[in-house]
Amino acid sequence: MRTRINDTRPGDLSLIGCCGILNVGDGDTKLSFDPANPAEKERAAKIVADMLKRGFAIMVQVGEKDGKPLFQRAEAFDEATCEYLIVGLPEDMLENGQPPKPLKLRGRKGRHRTYTAPAGNVRSVAVARSAGG
């Protein structure tokens, strides 16, 4: 059974938001935003905010298209609310002008709308900056 990001069932640990960090010195690492563990959630929030400051690209799953996950880059992270800030979504993702759950419309930034995604309900992947290619 495939679980979508907007399916939520209390107690289902597979739906706790996580951030996979790729290609670090110790191998790939995973952070969790488990509401049952506030200390771990706070630690993960600080790490994600620091990664964005250091230039990591954090891609947040915003939905699915043709059965494959669709990711959008996070522009910022709010440590207090544990939410990713995403600028713009593909037009075909919007239903009657509204984003798919659990994303929420936050406002406008220039021509683009901004959305928030709660870190506890979405999957994300972080990749460090690289020197060249």
- Average pLDDT (13-29) is 73
Collapsing DSSP states into helix, strand and coil, what is residue 128? coil
Q: Which two tokens stand for residue 32?
A: 């969790």
- By residue count, the chain amounts to 133
pLDDT of the residue at 15: 56
Widest pairwise Cα distance in the chain: 44
54-111 confidence digits (pLDDT tens): 999 999 998 888 888 889 999 999 999 999 999 888 777 777 767 888 888 887 755 6
What structural domains does the chain harbor? 17-127 (2.30.110)
Give residue 16's Cα distance to chain centre. Answer: 12
Greatest mean pLDDT among 5-9, 10-14, 22-26, 117-121: 117-121
Predicted TM-score of the model (pTM): 0.78
Residue 7 pLDDT > 90, yes or no? Answer: no
% the chain with pLDDT above 70: 79
Helix%, strand%, coil% for the chain, nearest 5: 15, 40, 45
Report the Cα–Cα distance between both ends of the chain, in Å, rounded. 37
Q: What is the mean pLDDT of the chain?
A: 80
Angle at 93 between CA 54 and CA 7, to 5 degrees: 85
